[in-house]
Structure 1
Amino acid sequence: MTDMITISGASKHYGDFKALDDVDFTVPSGSLTALLGPSGSGKSTLLRSIAGLDHPDTGEITIAGVDVTGVPPQQRDIGFVFQHYAAFKHMSVRENVAFGLKIRKRPKKEIKAKVDELLEVVGLAGFQGRYPAQLSGGQRQRMALARALAVDPQVLLLDEPFGALDAKVREDLRSWLRRLHENVHVTTVLVTHDQEEALDVADRIAVMNKGRIEQVGSPDDLYDRPANAFVMSFLGPVAKLNGQLVRPHDLRLDRQQLPASFAATVERVAHLGFEVRVELRPKSGAEGLSAQITRGDAKVLDLHEGETVYVRATRTPEIPAPVG
């Protein structure tokens, strides 16, 4: 697979703050790559640099083999969708989606056919006459994606596109975006701070921290083989066990002591739908930790606060816990 986007040695400062720190990064053609990290990690700055909305102090950006480092945004052949999409309130859904094609002076017949096709693809075929105020938040973001795709961009950039929506709508739109990408295959870069969103939607994830990329790989690679403690900690909950980090679902609870297990007191049992979180305090005086077990296991163990259980790891962590 060839690379659609290549970033070499990109650095960006805002006063004393280093937003990008000598970043090297590639995005394969046709991929859906997520930039994942906490606030201030540099992910939005990197996305905006690809778009041409920000300009790195140093480094080079190429799209489809062309150096676009000094090229203005409108000449980079990209589509961009923000968290708060600025739709034209006085225009219908059809007019909003068609806008980019009209300013490019495409023939009316071509515009109609393209808009009809995209409205069908994004599930808004029956809404073309409505105005943005008459749409739900999820529908407005689907309109925004249709508008970005209308001009057949080489690259689609999504900056926290579902961040302002409630949890159920975000979940539905994640599934929809994955299906959409499988249909249109446009190279897509998604910025998110939501680990579940990145793991669910992307085929590649780049984890960012303090302006640098800590690790790039498939969701399985990053979750099962994190490069360091930061990546492991950011991609889901962790517990510290004997100086190492371990996933709570990799902890096994038993009523009897087994090899490599230790005694702990049950401090709280929280039923969270399909799973149960058990908060534990090791008898040794070590810091507390949580285990995630199935409802079935919880029923068999019949755990209650104040009881003693024995804890062991079913999977040995691959990286040490951070010092201190």
Structure 2
Amino acid sequence: MSISVIGANKRYGEFAALDDVSIDIPEGSLTSLLGPSGSGKSTLLRAIAGLDRLDSGTVKINGRDVSSASPQQRDIGFVFQHYAAFKHLTVRENIAFGLKIRKRPKDEIKKKVDELLDIVGLTVFQKRYPAQLSGGQRQRMALARALAVDPQVLLLDEPFGALDAKVREDLRKWLRKLHDEVNVTTVLVTHDQQEALDVSDRIAVLNKGRIEQVGAPDDLYDRPDNVFVASFLGSVSRLNGELVRPHDIRLGRTPEMVFPGPDSTLDTGVVKASVERVVNLGFETRVELKAATTGEEFVAQITRGDQNALNLQAGESIFARATKVPQLSND
């Protein structure tokens, strides 16, 4: 089912949580609402769900105006960061709960729950209680429970926010695979840029109650509308006055080593800089630098192979040049 939000406004006293927000979410897509705290992303999700009533504006699901409809009338599944599972029910009973209160036939419930247990990989844990599951397993149970009633739309509000980094990474991959299998229109609220880039078909970047830009992850990363989108959707540095991605900065021990090459889309000029700090981060290395003439600090991201070849050390002088800059559409 497609979702359309038109001219949405929501205020809490003097604070504008949503300021004339409009967005179209295509049927079957996985769209992330990405932004910092207070940007309006959760308020927008709750307005789609019917949990928050807009001051003005319209919410449509598959062309039907649901602005005045209750959450129950919208056929929406929810998963939140802190999911309130029934502690006294097993995994199987939790997933079946929504079907039972809708008085579905027993054989239909069994078939549906068996199918979902298999999809989310919890068949062997179906007799366990929530307290006997890991955090990742509880969130998979929560997604299965939300999907059990065949919702038109699945809304996820920071579902992995309370989990550690490795579990979040695993669940991101799992969520994308699950979405491709069930193909339900999904809206994910997150403040995690990597999460949005990893799982989304489309990303809407919000800031101060307004939508800054909507598009495919690659479009927003490579062609941001403005500095806010560029800096929020990935790391950026300033080099010779240009906004640059750290991985698009070439380093060398001589100016000739960083001269324009076949990978270059521009020549911002060679900058002499001092190495302030070198941090090895697994397969990559972050180099913190300071421009010799301006004192401007910036960061370059190079491969471990390049670092092994350069053997950069704090206190040394180095030369840097940007090979590419994001194409700001509106700035």
TM-score (norm: length of structure 2): 0.95
Give the unaligned 5+ runs of structure 2.
260-268
Q: Residue 30 of structure 2 corresponds to which residue in structure 1? A: 32
| Secondary structure of the structure 2 residue equivalent to 1:152 | coil
Whichever residue aligns with residue 318 of structure 1, its letter is Q
| Cα deviation code 1:161-211 (max 9, x no counterpart) | 000111111010000000000100000000000000000011110000000
Match of 1:308 in 2: 317
Secondary structure of the structure 2 residue equivalent to 1:126: helix
Query: Which residue of 1 is the match for residue 135 of structure 2?
Result: 137
Distance in 1 (CA, whole Å) between partners of 2:235 and 2:308 is 23
Number of corresponding residues: 320
1:284 equivalent to 2:281? Answer no
**Counterpart residue number, 1:180:** 178
Amino acid at match of 1:161: P
Shift of 1:65: 1.1
Paired with 1:321 and 1:236, the residues of 2 have a C-alpha distance of 18
- Give the structure 2 partner of residue 99 of structure 1: 97
CA deviation string 1:56-109 (max 9, x = no partner): 100000001110000000110000001000001111111110111111110000
SS in 2 for 1:45: helix
Q: Would you identify which runs of 4 or more consecutive aligned residues in structure 1 move more than 2 Å?
A: 316-322
What is the match of residue 193 of structure 2? 195
Kindly indicate whether the alpha-carbon contact (under 8 Å) linking 2:274 and 2:289 is maintained by their aligned counterparts in 1.
yes
The residue aligned with 1:8 is 6
Match of 2:230 among 232, 247, 252: 232
**Is contact 2:244–2:326 with CA below 8 Å preserved after alignment?**
yes
Is residue 243–residue 320 contact of structure 1 (8 Å, CA) maintained in 2? no
RMSD in angstroms over aligned alpha carbons? 1.3
In structure 1, the residue matched to 2:264 is none
What do the CA deviations read for 1:108-139 (whole angstroms, capped 9, x no partner)?
A: 00000000000000000111111111111111
8 Å contact from structure 1 (residues 240, 321) kept in 2: no
Identity of aligned residues (%): 71
**What's the offset of the Cα at 1:316?**
3.2
Cα distance in 2 for partners of 1:289, 1:202 equals: 29
- CA drift at 1:157: 0.1
* Correspondence list, 1:36-55, <5 A: 36-55=34-53
Shift of 1:321: 12
> Match of 1:147, SS?
helix
Q: Which moved more, 1:253-262 or 1:205-214?
A: 253-262
Could you tell me how far 1:10 is from its partner in structure 2?
0.2
Q: 2:34, 2:192 within 8 Å by CA — same for their partners in 1?
A: yes
Shift of 1:318: 2.3
Residues 307-316 or 108-117, more deviating = 307-316
Q: Is the 8 A contact 1:229 1:321 kept in 2?
A: no
Which of residues 128, 147, 154 is equivalent to 1:156? 154
1:237 deviates by 1.1
Report the more deviating stretch, 181-190 or 125-134.
Answer: 125-134
Q: Contact (CA 8 Å) 2:197, 2:217: kept in 1 or not?
A: yes
On the 8 A contact 1:245/1:319 being kept in 2, the answer is: no
Structure 1 unaligned runs (5+)?
none
